[in-house]
Structure 1
Amino acid sequence: DPMFPHRDKSALVKKEMQVFRQVVGDDDDSEQLLAAALACARYRVVVKRPRKAPAVAGPEPTTRLEGKSSRYDIYSIKALPA
């Protein structure tokens, strides 16, 4: 999964994910993507990250939802209309 950084453990990820990562590459432009998303979004931007990874550089997320392996950083821009 390109969202997760490369790991040095002995167990490899599934072959499909290895090929997918080779095609898409690493997540080196997340800061620029977040800035572009925040500039275009009307209400919120949600970023999926590994649970223990630092937040993407830039503004702090308004809210975080954590699961066992993933975390969702939510950047609220304004409230949804009623």
Structure 2
Amino acid sequence: MPLLRVHLDSDRSTSRRVLQLHQQGKIHHESREAAREQVWRRGHTPTGDPIFVGVTNGRRDVQLLYDVEVYSDTVP
């Protein structure tokens, strides 16, 4: 199944919190749901939960990165 990379705008404190939760084996539910919603808005159907893959290291703009598997028949 195709993977879709999702970039979510964030602030530094939230991105640190999401990364810390990930390292503890926990989930930041708000950002995971935001990633799922972005996939739906793009016209794709997710096959499962978004997977947190990291944080960009931009000095000003920080983004959370998620990979989401989508059904192949929804890929344009």
Could you tell me the TM-score, scaled by structure 1's length?
0.26
Higher relative contact order (CA 8 A, sep 6+): 2
Structure with higher strand content: 2
Could you tell me the TM-score, scaled by structure 2's length?
0.27
For the pair shown, which has the larger CA radius of gyration, 1 or 2?
1
